[in-house]
Amino acid sequence: MVLLTVRHVKAEVGDVAGQRSVRSEAGLLAAATAKAAEGLTAEASQAVSALISDWKVSLRARGRPRQTIGFCRTVADSFASYLARTGRPTSVGSIAGEHVEHYLADMLERGLAATVAKHYRSLQQLFKWLVDEGEVTQRTGRLVRRR
């Protein structure tokens, strides 16, 4: 998440002899905001698979058992693989609740009903972490829920 203030813009651009009009500061802020928005768009297009290692580190830092971390990693890898294999979006900003539902339905069709609930809970935690990290919006994170 990027938070910009005039102070940050001045520090980045430099203050010419301490004299700057409000108009030029507003212009700098607008330019910096546009630049930040481009960065956020690039971050939002980051693939799920690229973030799995970071999630694993976060789980470790929160003291989750190794077996839990291993299972969560397996679920995330399986979900990312499913998205790529079926031609669905793999960028975190483009994943919708329907993609998770398709993944879980595919597991049911393959006779994996016993593990669907565990996969659902792991994906729910992944998306909660993505919201906490600012990778997706609260609205996107809520898409992973039981209907």
Q: pLDDT confidence of 20, banded at 50, 70, 90? A: very low
Same-domain check for residues 68 and 115: yes
The pLDDT assigned to 139 comes to 67
Q: Cα(first)–Cα(last) distance of the chain, in Å? A: 30
Residue 142 reports pLDDT greater than 80:
no
Burial of 59 (0-12, 13-18, 19+ CB in 10 A): buried
Q: From the CB of residue 120, how many other CB atoms can be counted at a distance below 10 Å? A: 19
- CB-neighbour burial class of residue 128 (10 A; exposed 0-12, middle 13-18, buried 19+): middle
Tokens 């690039």 found at: 42
Specify the pTM: 0.66
- Domain of 36 in residue numbering reads as 6-44
In a domain, residue 30? The reply is yes
Q: Are 1 and 134 in contact (CB under 8 A)?
A: yes
CB 76 within 8 A of CB 122: yes
Examine residue 1 and state whether it is found in any structural domain, yes or no: no
Helix H or strand E encompassing 145 = none
- Do 19 and 81 have their domain in common? no
H or E element in which residue 87 lies:
none
Percent of the chain residues topping a pLDDT of 70: 63
Query: Higher-confidence residue: 32 or 132?
Result: 132
Q: List CB contacts of 131: < 8 A, sequence separation 6 or more.
A: 137, 138, 140, 141
Region 29-57: what's the mean pLDDT?
Answer: 62
Q: Nearest 5 degrees, angle CA 55-CA 57-CA 63? A: 105
* Same domain flag for 64 and 122: yes
- CATH number, domain containing residue 108: 1.10.150
